[in-house]
Structure 1
């Protein structure tokens, strides 16, 4: 493969939420469903860079120390930043296609599209979401931040992996049916 692979690895509730309305995941995800059970460590080791939305960045910063040292990270945002950036983190505003082209030009082979839903919607719209890997957690949150917000475009996928995990969770991997050449 000589093009960048855009890979989203994310946890989602059974009703399609990636976080509670305040962005929290601690009480329904982290304790009972460790990321490594869903292959996260191996996935993360193969990532060259991270692309995340501003809401995700703010949530991750709230966890304490920056959890991704050594991984170049670009945060796509339209809001000004009042924060001291962790090493390796950059901010970009504007067009998702321009940011994606910039990361491709840097030679990154695999970029983690970390979220949230607005960024995922943008990446689908520009044809830059190749793999959707999900830890599906058996909880219905009701209110929360959707994985696919209103206005998300159509994308056809094929299931490449489905594994039952502890406590009724699923590990699903989908690939886009019509990847660009």
Structure 2
């Protein structure tokens, strides 16, 4: 069974990046990703699904951080010089979700960003939302849930304090 799982960090005021896309605030006193079970999660990921803005931000970081994992970038524009394993898909999320389910994949990481997450929630395809809530208020930036995100009821499945941060796992309320 395919599981569409978003594992993401956000600021206390709901931002996933600064307005310029920067995530330097994650390296300034936040617990390491492993404190939130990220390595074990990433080892189980079979495919990564991301939006164009997230892809561009990852490319600016230097070395491609997803080497060895298939990556599908939701975009209508071609990618110049994409790393090995990176493919594009148009924005037809219902068709893409159906394709990935038909492949029989296990874990698909819905890596971001907010627009993709909004679309996945809109079609009821997000199975799990796992968040590291970092105790910093950015005041401005790119929100996890952009305007237009549909009202969605979630059920808390796990919570833990990790230092001053929170580790939260939600699934759709059924």
User: What is the TM-score when the length of structure 2 is the normalising length?
Assistant: 0.95
**C-alpha distance 117-61 of structure 1, shift in aligned 2 (>3 A):** same
Report the Cα distance in structure 2 between the residues aligned to 1:11 and 1:19, rounded to whole angstroms: 9
Residue 85 of structure 1 and its aligned partner are, at CA, apart by 1.0
Report the Cα distance in structure 1 between the residues aligned to 2:126 and 2:11, rounded to whole angstroms: 20
Structure 1: which 4+ aligned runs deviate by more than 4 Å? none
Could you tell me which residue of structure 1 aligns to residue 9 of structure 2? 11
Which one of 65, 68, 83 corresponds to residue 67 of structure 1?
65
Q: Which ranges of structure 2 fall in alignment gaps of 5 or more residues?
A: none
Report the Cα distance in structure 2 between the residues aligned to 1:66 and 1:105, rounded to whole angstroms: 28
Which one of 129, 133, 146 corresponds to residue 132 of structure 1?
129
Which one of 110, 114, 118 corresponds to residue 121 of structure 1?
118
Could you tell me which residue of structure 2 aligns to residue 46 of structure 1? 44
RMSD across aligned positions (CA): 1.1
Which one of 104, 107, 130 corresponds to residue 107 of structure 1?
104
Cα deviation code 1:140-173 (max 9, x no counterpart): 111100000011012111111111112x111111
Cα deviation code 1:109-165 (max 9, x no counterpart): 110000000000000011110110000000111110000001101211111111111
Q: Which ranges of structure 1 fall in alignment gaps of 5 or more residues?
A: none
Corresponding pairs, count = 173
The answer on 1:20 being equivalent to 2:18 is yes
Could you tell me which residue of structure 1 aligns to residue 55 of structure 2? 57
Residue 108 of structure 1 and its aligned partner are, at CA, apart by 1.0
